Amino acid sequence: MRKFLLLTVAIAACAGAAHVGTAQAIAACGTITSSTTLAADCSAPLIVGASGIVVDLGGHSVVCNSSQAVGLSVPNGTSAVTVRNGKVRANNATCLEGVNVEGDFNQVTSVTESGGSDGFVVGGDSNTLLLATAASNFSDGVAVFGDNNTVRQATLMENLNGADFILGHRNTITRSRIFLNETGISVDGDAMDIDQNHVFRNNTGIYFSGGSQRSVVFLNQAYLNEVGIRIDDLSSGSNLVLVNGSYANFTWDMEDDNANCDSNLWFNNVFGTANQNCIH
């Protein structure tokens, strides 16, 4: 009986070893032109090739396992598309951009991206990222270049920048959790709306840089960063920092690098430390 049990274990072990050692190639994602639910993981790139369709990843992954410019693409001219419910996975930044949205009026919801160079790149206008997660990217978790885009209820962690609003006007990030990045939210665009976010354990939590103007930071919580909320000396154009909590940060809770805050207004915030008396 004992010999039979040992023989059974040995056979099972050999079978398991053979199974582990067998590489399974996955099919190419290709271009999708009608509403589709994926039945399995597929190999990048996945290109959305028609407007007005739903691409449901079905909980599966778009996998970048060789050099790819983009993992999942919603090209310029493609609109009213929904991409949802899955992952884009890169290996050591093999995807330069995990998810690229160049079209207008599209929605990406409940998609997790990890391990690329940039996570979600939005070059179009009036798009929405809802419940997006970007983790462990070498550059930006979310990078926005277009106008009137919304990032809502995102989780952005362990990127160089959590969310980087590089160009564009009237973009919004709201109700998101941004942590363990070099910069949590970088505000370079014009007339930005940053509200109701939790920004913590970054080097700088919320950072106005590169000439940002007429942007509003409202009802955010910034804590356990090196600096909680900072406006640099190029961003003197009537930015508003209102009713935020910034506390337990290690250098400054609030910092304005412009003399007497220039035309920036800091009002009714809760904080412990600030670098100037014009911050309230």
User: For 162-189, how does the pLDDT look when each residue is reduced to its tens digit (9 = 90+)?
Assistant: 999 998 999 999 999 999 999 999 999 8
For residue 237, count other CB atoms closer than 10 A to its CB.
17
Answer for the pair 118, 97: CB distance below 8 angstroms, yes or no.
yes
CA distance 145 to 263: 25
Task: Say yes or no to pLDDT of 24 above 70.
Answer: no
Using H for helix, E for strand and C for coil, what is the string for 151-175? Answer: EECCEEECCCEEEEECCCECCEEEC
Q: What is the pLDDT of residues 118-150, one digit of tens each?
A: 999 999 999 999 999 999 999 999 999 999 999
Helix (H) or strand (E) holding 15: helix 2-20
Q: Give the rounded percent of residues in the chain with a pLDDT score beyond 70.
A: 91
| Token pair belonging to 14 | 């050999």
Answer for the pair 216, 244: CB distance below 8 angstroms, yes or no.
no
For residue 209, count other CB atoms closer than 10 A to its CB.
18
| Token pair belonging to 177 | 């959790």
Answer for the pair 215, 194: CB distance below 8 angstroms, yes or no.
yes
Are 155 and 229 found together in one domain?
no
Boundary-marking domain end, from 155, 181, 207: 181
Boundary-marking domain end, from 124, 150, 181: 181
Across the range 25-42, mean pLDDT stands at 96
Maximum Cα–Cα distance across the chain: 87
> What's the pLDDT at 72?
97
Are 33 and 95 found together in one domain?
yes
Listed residue (216, 271, 275) closest to 249, CA to CA: 271
Boundary-marking domain end, from 125, 157, 181: 181
Across the range 44-54, mean pLDDT stands at 97
256 found inside a domain: yes
Are 135 and 249 found together in one domain?
no
CA distance 118 to 173: 17
For residue 190, count other CB atoms closer than 10 A to its CB.
18
CA distance 141 to 161: 6
Structural domain including 84 reads: 24-181
* The total number of structural domains that make up the chain: 2
Global pTM value: 0.90
Region of 105 (left: φ > 0; alpha: ψ -120 to 50; beta: rest) is: left
Average pLDDT, the chain: 91
210 found inside a domain: yes
68 found inside a domain: yes
> What's the pLDDT at 38?
98
Answer for the pair 244, 217: CB distance below 8 angstroms, yes or no.
yes
